[in-house]
Amino acid sequence: MTNTPLFIPVILGTPRQGRQSEHVAKFIVEQIATRDDVETELIDVRTIAIPTNDAGESIKDPQFSATVERADGLIIIAPEYNHGYPGLLKHLLDTCLKEYIHKAVGLCGVSAGAFGGTRVIENLLPVMRELGLVTIFYDLNFTNVQDLFDESGNLIDKQTYIRRLDKFMNELVWMSTVLRYGRQKVNQ
């Protein structure tokens, strides 16, 4: 089995002006850079121009598709909007299909309220499954997100979140590794 690093891009799931999720994404990408078993890159829904007069695979963005195709796993940062997922995140996710199959995903819920985006995570579960992704059973939750970062966009209580991210990444790396083995070695 290959020992090359896993490729696990981070999807920043909202284009909202003033989005706090951008700080969350920056933190996660920076922390992953300190690991030697994972490579990552940021995918920002704001910067991928897909049409809004259509939906689905017919408006696939070649670069997004290639990135997901190459990925062993994904991290999705999803702020909770009305207990559901951001529309433009779903609009993007729906443009691919086979690219996701038998890969791992870790979900990161972000909320201005007290419950850490737990509801957007529940709302994403059936979609993740239908895309062929395996959602790991440890989440990241950013509660009261507007209070978590300083003016420079750095986490105030960084050590707490590093510990949680480590636990999350360990599970995501395990699942991504196992599924990569499966895709490469186990006949379907």
Residues that bind its own copies (CB under 8 A): 14-17, 46, 52-56, 58, 81-94, 97, 114-116, 118-119, 122-127, 129-132, 134-135, 137, 141, 143, 170-171, 174-175, 177-179, 181-182, 186-188
- Closest distance of CB 143 from its own copies, Å: 7
- Closest distance of CB 15 from its own copies, Å: 5
39 vs 94 by CB, closer to its own copies: 94
What residues contact residue 170 under an 8 Å CB cut-off, 6+ apart?
Answer: none
- Closest distance of CB 84 from its own copies, Å: 4
What residues contact residue 105 under an 8 Å CB cut-off, 6+ apart?
Answer: 73, 74, 75, 76, 128, 133, 134, 135, 136
User: Rounded distance, CA 140 to CA 105, Å?
Assistant: 12
Distances (CA, A) of 20 to 69, 112, 115, 169: 28, 9, 16, 21
Give me 184's structure tokens.
């490469």
- Closest distance of CB 9 from its own copies, Å: 19
17 vs 34 by CB, closer to its own copies: 17
9 vs 13 by CB, closer to its own copies: 13
